[in-house]
Amino acid sequence: MNAPTKHSHTIHQNQSHFGWNNANKPVVHAKPGETIEFHPMDASAGQITQTSTVADVPKLDFARVNPVAGPVYVDGAEPGDAIKVTLLSFAPSGWGWTANIPGFGLLTDQFKEPGLHIWKYDAQAMTPALYGPGGRVPLKPFCGTIGLAPAEAGQHSIVPPRRVGGNMDIRDISEGTELYLPVEVKGGLFSVGDTHAAQGDGEVCGTAIESPISLAAKFDLVKGANLKFPRFTTAGPVSRHLDAKGYEVTTGISPDLMEGARAAVSGMVDLLTKQHKMKPLEAYMLCSVCGDLRISEIVDMPNWVVSFYFPRVVFE
């Protein structure tokens, strides 16, 4: 048995905050090359638990959503630089939740009622998590919210992503990924949270498999990078966990990308409902955790094509 990896610093759940603010005092000062272990809260900050019911969903306090652990002051980081964050490892908890929150998500007008699914999964083997009538969702842990403090003074919501990162919900910011974040304030003030056990590209219902997951990251400094937005490098293939059996694909065609996306997802909800005798809300939440929205065509004006890919491996 290998000895546990020792990291330069550890940041615990109680060292978290609920908004981006460059006046937040750093909880750790890190030198370039050092590693930090983070233990963030789940996206609900404990408002949803393993024993929660759907009645708890409308009670969610959005002021306490998406807490992030930190901030970390990286020595030598100045505006115009980039902080390189290498995601070293993830340690999942074995449980998570997916919710439809009224008023939040891509199809809010179609799904006005709350929904909740509590997931249980093997935190060691990371075998696919069970869902409904025979569904099995392949897992891929990652951090949905990861970023630096913005230059603008004051408190800023963590819900929307920003130029310095934040709630980007990119499922490929996973183990082995090297993420470059543009620095706007001295020290960068890095924070991370909103960890997911799995998510589809688009996170269409507004939540993924929201799961408490610890992670470790290494910090380096790139002087004078002058990035306009974050960029990242993956360590290898990004969809191997989903590709094995191919995909069912629905499309939306419209002069508006959002309307095209809505049509593509609605089409997949209808297809899953018919094929697997699922309730529409169950299908919608399942799409959020394992289906991928893709822009298939954006040049043949005036109409653009958005496709929604649902992995057949979930039901085969």
Residue by residue, DSSP assigns 9-59 as: EEE-TTSEESSB-TTSPPSEEE-TT-EEEE-PPPTTTTSS-TT--GGGGGG
Q: Look at residue 134 in the predicted model and tell me its pLDDT.
A: 84
Instruction: Give the tens place of pLDDT for each residue, 249-292.
Output: 999 999 999 999 999 999 999 999 999 999 999 999 999 999 99
pTM exceeding 0.85: yes
Q: Which residues of 69-98 are buried (b: 16+ CB within 10 A; e: fewer)?
A: bbbbbbeebeeebbbbbbbbebebbbbbbb
188 Cβ neighbours under 8 A, 6+ residues apart: 72, 73, 74, 77, 81, 83, 148, 149, 181
Region 9-233: CATH code = 2.60.120.580
Are 218 and 86 in contact by the 8 Å Cβ rule? The answer is yes
Q: What is the pLDDT of residue 6?
A: 86
Q: Which of 274, 145, 268, 287 is nearest to 205 (CA)?
A: 287
DSSP state of 140: -
pLDDT in tens, 133-175: 789 999 999 999 999 999 999 999 999 999 999 999 999 999 9
- Count Cα atoms within 13 angstroms, Cβ side, for 157: 6
Q: Which pLDDT score is estimated for 1?
A: 41
Query: pLDDT for 177-223, tens place per residue?
Result: 999 999 999 999 999 999 999 999 999 999 999 999 999 999 999 99
State in words which class domain 242-314 has: alpha beta
Instruction: Give the residue extent of every domain in the chain.
Output: 9-233, 242-314
List pLDDT tens digits, range 13-50: 999 999 999 999 999 999 999 999 999 999 999 999 99
In contact, 313 and 285? CB cutoff 8 Å: no
3-state secondary structure of 8: coil
CB 135 within 8 A of CB 143: no
pLDDT of residue 3: 53
